[in-house]
Amino acid sequence: MKDRRTFLKQSGILTTSALLYSGTGLSAMAQSEQGTYTHAAQKGSRWLDGSRLVVSVSMQFEAGGQPENAESPFPQNMQKGYKDLPAETWYQYGYREGIPRMLDNWDKLGIKVTSHMVGGAVLKNPELAKEIVQRGHEAAAHGMNWATQYTMPYAEEKKFIGDGVDAIRKITGFNPIGYNANWLRRGENTLKILQELGFLYHIDDLSRDEPFIQKVNGKAFVTVPYTLRCNDIQLIEGKNFSVDQFINQVKMEFDQLYQEAATRRRQMSISFHDRIGGTPQMVQATKELFTYMTNQPGVNFKRKDEIARMALEDKTTITE
Amino acid sequence: MKDRRTFLKQSGILTTSALLYSGTGLSAMAQSEQGTYTHAAQKGSRWLDGSRLVVSVSMQFEAGGQPENAESPFPQNMQKGYKDLPAETWYQYGYREGIPRMLDNWDKLGIKVTSHMVGGAVLKNPELAKEIVQRGHEAAAHGMNWATQYTMPYAEEKKFIGDGVDAIRKITGFNPIGYNANWLRRGENTLKILQELGFLYHIDDLSRDEPFIQKVNGKAFVTVPYTLRCNDIQLIEGKNFSVDQFINQVKMEFDQLYQEAATRRRQMSISFHDRIGGTPQMVQATKELFTYMTNQPGVNFKRKDEIARMALEDKTTITE
Amino acid sequence: MKDRRTFLKQSGILTTSALLYSGTGLSAMAQSEQGTYTHAAQKGSRWLDGSRLVVSVSMQFEAGGQPENAESPFPQNMQKGYKDLPAETWYQYGYREGIPRMLDNWDKLGIKVTSHMVGGAVLKNPELAKEIVQRGHEAAAHGMNWATQYTMPYAEEKKFIGDGVDAIRKITGFNPIGYNANWLRRGENTLKILQELGFLYHIDDLSRDEPFIQKVNGKAFVTVPYTLRCNDIQLIEGKNFSVDQFINQVKMEFDQLYQEAATRRRQMSISFHDRIGGTPQMVQATKELFTYMTNQPGVNFKRKDEIARMALEDKTTITE
Amino acid sequence: MKDRRTFLKQSGILTTSALLYSGTGLSAMAQSEQGTYTHAAQKGSRWLDGSRLVVSVSMQFEAGGQPENAESPFPQNMQKGYKDLPAETWYQYGYREGIPRMLDNWDKLGIKVTSHMVGGAVLKNPELAKEIVQRGHEAAAHGMNWATQYTMPYAEEKKFIGDGVDAIRKITGFNPIGYNANWLRRGENTLKILQELGFLYHIDDLSRDEPFIQKVNGKAFVTVPYTLRCNDIQLIEGKNFSVDQFINQVKMEFDQLYQEAATRRRQMSISFHDRIGGTPQMVQATKELFTYMTNQPGVNFKRKDEIARMALEDKTTITE
């Protein structure tokens, strides 16, 4: 779906000023040292490309790369030495039905997403990994498997991340420049390693509603922030919402951020996982919600690599 | 309730083509080796009998066959050596009120279901087991009691399944050809044993939204897939939804699958357990939901044995 | 609020027959031995007093009688040797605000309830206990304190129950004839002891949606059944529903039972606890819900002692 | 927003009597010894300043003052010796986005709140602490950090509270006279210490829906009561409601208290925490809810220090 604001602009119906200054003013807020306090909102300084609200959608591709007897909705009481066969089928759903259903939904809605892919999942279902990229979505990295990386020594962590990158590059042809650790649990070395490996951004940070830049090894490294509060792994699997609660909650998030986005840079972050967000009930819910969202002027769904590049290019991006 | 689509067909109001091609097209998807990827959707290839969406309802008959001090909504803090008397009454509700109420609801809605019966439950309330079959529903097997079968040696597991089958056959006269393990927890031998005992299908697999065939001992064996996300044991007992959340969530599942079913084979799976789905509030909720569903053209509620036989007969069934 | 059905009867607008046979017929169900199967529904045999649906409300008076550091919404991590002071204030709310607010609500709705009173709670707030009875509600027994009675030897359990009865009798003047064990956890001797102490009924049984009679020591003893699924201690405190979910769920329970009650005896059971059901949000929810319910013809809110006596008098009461 | 009732009074549209006696009468309730029973409602005795319903909002400022590896929505499975980096970012959100967003919302709604500030949070983000006070809100004390104070010896607890007070005084210029212990967990000495340090009130008590006075060291000390049932830390973080459930539940609380407030003194207590109540979805929900509330005549949002002072001045305040 085309950006209605762009349409209106081109039609000359609304001037740029009107589009940018349509909201109520926000109080100016001081910036404390080390960027712990939100950057002063400059009138009109929203996104470099003129977007009002940027929405970042994640479609995590993990199934097939999970360890044996990984957590699932089944009672966690398997006896030692036995494989949890039904739990395996719950994961299989992620690539047999989940991702394909979501891919069709993104086409229907006309949006592009970022898919953080676990290396093992890519190797298990190479055709699916390739299809995600071929249909216009970003392939980002998510480790080689589900191992805990924050306890790894430097070299081991670097290999762990690198192997996952190689799998994605080799199978899909896409070079990943963004990273997501398992449960966001990075270690003290992670950002340095990511930069050495050529990454531009990571998402393992919940602290803001807009991207920001940190110096890592003296060079800029972008955070494209993430949320748990609009994330199916917390809402649906973890905190047991029904899908209509998911809609209600994420819609209210949108309504507030959309208002704020009239006068300052705002990014919304929503996340789906193959076996959770890809169910028929979740895809129906998402379709209703995103149809509502895409109908508001100035709302742009963007891949995280686009967001990261725009943040780097924009001199007004918060820099810590 | 008669299939409105059949009615319309007979009335000549809609041609078969119109009925089959009424949805939006789905992207063709490649099939990777070992059937890990969804089968390519062929235009018009829905169900052999012309159904648009097939809905499979389970009504599990377990109460009376539970072990002593089985889990319940009561605090799990019984002192050793004492019987949990109130928990027993919670289970009794399953056969005193729950199943009878659900049977009346299926009659009111005009649908047939599959009842997986624990052998012990059948022996405890033989009249009720017989009535389930006499009223047109399928009796399927669910083990002799609630024992953990995936740890059993071959012979022990074969006797365990066989005893449950014998109880059902002897009391109801129905020969079960479908199986459900306790919490879907089958073992490495289960499918072989089921085939040896003459079963046609099992349901202990969450990986697809349509039936599929595996080779077991070189012969076809059907999976009629199951869900936890439309299952009262997870939603109501396990994850604590209120009954209106149950309606909202399952309705969204239906809406999405119904759309997909315009151009490809789709099966919906909903499950109730005697003491949970048989409460007045759950039966009221189910009645409202199913009334909505049965009012859509092309929706057919089928017993799993019918689904399994249709899958075997249909050469386009996914075969792994 | 006057029973509209009685009003209509008196007005001659509806004949008794019309009132009794207004629902759809239920299938006749066989009775298996030992009363494990629901009694055959006789046409017109609803309640002896002509009620269509009987609703039993519990208002449990426990606060003040709880042990030190009793469970509460606070994190259960008190260090040994210290009193949980905020948790005590949560209990105090039960008698300072909760019961008084509920008493006003019952007056506003024009209904009478049964209050199971813990002996210690009665001694702590004698004026409140007296007021409950003076305002027309039934005082029923609930043990002397929160001790686990199912592990007690016979004499100890008899004293435990008796002391609670004495407290109620002495303070309120009301002689309790009904009993509720802590979390329904009675023991093997409880019913015998209750009968010896002159009780007519107990509520610690979830197995039916109508009262029934058992032989205890060769004499009839009534069960006025209870629920957890319409109980604030499970829904609000235990399973974390919001109050609007409570309304939705209990309303659906009512709608189904009301329909069934057209042709058979049905009892609904709803329970509130001083500190949970007595909050402003719960009382508002209850008011909305009960206003809806009392507006249906033939709905009668009754104290459990009235229900028990009616069950004893009625020869068609299920007898196990 | 001006008190509409005051407006009407001044306009002569409604007489004082009409305003005060517009609700239904409450039953008179006896007062038992030691104030364990609610004080008799005197006709017309609402609040000294003529308010009908007083609403107390808390905006807790804790983030930045939390211990290492403090609890969070992340799986609580950090290996020993490692810092929970993503959990830190969840806390950072509290002061980077949460508090600023809530401050804007209070301005938009025209209300003042009480912010209980942890000493460590104030020192970490002094500009933000100052801004809270500069924008008209009350700074109240909340300990120096998250330590468990109920186990501290007298002198240690006095220093712990005093250090937090000093941080607030030094940074914001505001002298705190109200206190909130971590999870309300005060000890046997807390009230005495608070009084010695010059505090007027504490909030760590859930037992009433109006303020009350206790004698501490022979002098009056006020309780401005708190709730968990209208508290984002319990509803949103603890008990997993979606934000629309939060609205529904708190709205019903308001509706009931507003009615009661026609003829007696009623206080509503709602609490938000920086990282929970400050999310876009929660601020949107709060905005909708509070807009509804502020539109009812006689509703006054007050800081707790104002409530405490009014309670001290009013001779009809419940005194235990």
What is the tens place of the pLDDT at every residue in C246-269? Answer: 999 999 999 999 999 999 999 999
**Which pLDDT band holds residue B22 (cuts at 50, 70, 90)?**
very low
What local confidence, expressed as pLDDT, does residue B25 receive?
Answer: 32
**Which pLDDT band holds residue D188 (cuts at 50, 70, 90)?**
very high
Alpha-carbon distance C115 to B21, whole Å? Answer: 62
Cβ C37–B86 below 8 Å, yes or no?
A: no
Contact between B274 and B99 (Cβ < 8 Å): yes
pLDDT one-digit tens code per residue, A148-172: 999 999 999 999 999 999 999 999 9
Q: What does pLDDT average to over chain B?
A: 88
Alpha-carbon distance B200 to B184, whole Å? Answer: 17
Residue of C32, C151, C249 lying closest to B243 (CB–CB): C249
Is the per-residue pLDDT at B26 higher than 70?
no
Cβ B185–A74 below 8 Å, yes or no?
A: yes
pLDDT one-digit tens code per residue, D9-45: 443 333 333 333 333 333 333 333 333 333 333 345 5
Radius of gyration of chain C (CA): 20
**Which pLDDT band holds residue C38 (cuts at 50, 70, 90)?**
very low
Percent of residues, chain B, with pLDDT higher than 90: 85
Q: What number of other Cβ atoms are within 10 A of residue A40's Cβ? A: 14
Chain C residue numbers with beta carbons less than 8 Å from the beta carbon of B131 are 29-30
pLDDT one-digit tens code per residue, C191-230: 999 999 999 999 999 999 999 999 999 999 999 999 999 9
The tokens of C260 are what?
A: 């069934």
Is C42-67+83-319 CATH 3.40.50.300?
no
Percent of residues, chain D, with pLDDT higher than 70: 86
**Which pLDDT band holds residue B240 (cuts at 50, 70, 90)?**
confident
Residue of chain C whose alpha carbon sits nearest to that of B75: C183
Domain segments of chain D as ranges: 42-67+83-319
Q: What are phi and psi of D114, to 5 degrees?
A: -110, 130
Positions of chain A with pLDDT under 70: 1-45
What local confidence, expressed as pLDDT, does residue B32 receive?
Answer: 33
Report the relative pairing of strands C53-60 and C299-301 from DSSP bridges: parallel
Percent of residues, chain A, with pLDDT higher than 70: 86
Estimate the crossing angle of helix D280-294 against helix A243-260, to 10 degrees.
80
What local confidence, expressed as pLDDT, does residue C265 receive?
Answer: 96
What local confidence, expressed as pLDDT, does residue A281 receive?
Answer: 98
Alpha-carbon distance A282 to A288, whole Å? Answer: 10
Q: Can you tell me the mean pLDDT for C286-292?
A: 98
A182 burial via Cβ count (<10 Å: 0-12, 13-18, 19+): middle
What local confidence, expressed as pLDDT, does residue B36 receive?
Answer: 34
Residue of chain D whose alpha carbon sits nearest to that of C83: D187
Kindly state whether D276 is in contact with chain A, defined as any CB-CB distance less than 8 angstroms: no
What local confidence, expressed as pLDDT, does residue B238 receive?
Answer: 87
Kindly state whether A95 is in contact with chain B, defined as any CB-CB distance less than 8 angstroms: yes
Is the per-residue pLDDT at B23 higher than 70?
no
Alpha-carbon distance B270 to D85, whole Å? Answer: 41
Kindly state whether C84 is in contact with chain D, defined as any CB-CB distance less than 8 angstroms: yes
Is the per-residue pLDDT at C310 higher than 90?
yes
What local confidence, expressed as pLDDT, does residue D240 receive?
Answer: 87
What local confidence, expressed as pLDDT, does residue D238 receive?
Answer: 87
Radius of gyration of chain A (CA): 20
Cβ A85–B185 below 8 Å, yes or no?
A: yes
Closest among C263, C265, C267, C274 to C317, alpha carbons compared: C265
Residue of chain D whose alpha carbon sits nearest to that of A24: D108
The tokens of A162 are what?
A: 């690198």
Neighbouring chains to B with at least 3 Cβ pairs closer than 8 Å: A, C
Residue of B97, B101, B125 lying closest to C32 (CB–CB): B125
Is the per-residue pLDDT at B20 higher than 70?
no
Residue of D96, D108, D128 lying closest to A207 (CB–CB): D96
The tokens of A194 are what?
A: 């990511």
pLDDT one-digit tens code per residue, D75-133: 999 999 999 999 999 999 999 999 999 999 999 999 999 999 999 999 999 999 999 99
Alpha-carbon distance A98 to A277, whole Å? Answer: 7
What local confidence, expressed as pLDDT, does residue D5 receive?
Answer: 35
pLDDT one-digit tens code per residue, B27-83: 333 333 333 333 333 345 589 999 999 999 999 999 999 999 999 999 999 999 999
Q: Which amino acid is at D12?
A: G
Percent of residues, chain B, with pLDDT higher than 70: 86
Give how far A269 is from chain D: nearest CA, Å: 12
Q: Can you tell me the mean pLDDT for B180-203?
A: 98
Q: Can you tell me the mean pLDDT for D222-233?
A: 97
Chain A residue numbers with beta carbons less than 8 Å from the beta carbon of D96 are 36-38, 207-208
Q: What number of other Cβ atoms are within 10 A of residue D307's Cβ? A: 27
DSSP symbol at C18: H
C166 burial via Cβ count (<10 Å: 0-12, 13-18, 19+): middle
Q: Which amino acid is at C74?
A: F
What local confidence, expressed as pLDDT, does residue B45 receive?
Answer: 54
Is the per-residue pLDDT at C11 higher than 50?
no
**Which pLDDT band holds residue C93 (cuts at 50, 70, 90)?**
very high
Kindly state whether A53 is in contact with chain B, defined as any CB-CB distance less than 8 angstroms: no
Residue of C78, C86, C243 lying closest to D252 (CB–CB): C243
Kindly state whether D73 is in contact with chain A, defined as any CB-CB distance less than 8 angstroms: yes
The tokens of D251 are what?
A: 């709205």
Residue of A30, A38, A252 lying closest to D243 (CB–CB): A252
Q: What does pLDDT average to over chain D?
A: 88
Assign residue C39 a region: left if phi > 0, alpha if psi is -120 to 50, beta otherwise?
beta
What local confidence, expressed as pLDDT, does residue A239 receive?
Answer: 83
Residue of chain B whose alpha carbon sits nearest to that of C225: B89
Q: What is the 3-state secondary structure (H, E, C) of chain B?
A: CCCHHHHHHHHCCCCHHHHHCCCCCCCCCCCCHHHCCCCCCCCCCCCCCCCCEEEEEEEEECCCCCCCCCCCCCCCCCCCCCCCHHHHHHHHHHHHHHHHHHHHHHHHHCCCCEEEECHHHHHHCHHHHHHHHHCCCEEEECCCCCCCCCCCCHHHHHHHHHHHHHHHHHHHCCCCCEECCHHHCCCCCHHHHHHHCCCCEECCCCCCCCCEEEEECCEEEEECCCCCCCEHHHHHHHCCCCHHHHHHHHHHHHHHHHHHCCCCCEEEEEEEEHHHHCCHHHHHHHHHHHHHHHCCCCEEECCHHHHHHHHHHCCCCEEC
Cβ C86–D184 below 8 Å, yes or no?
A: yes
- Range scoring the smallest mean pLDDT among A202-216, B157-171, C14-28, C182-196: C14-28
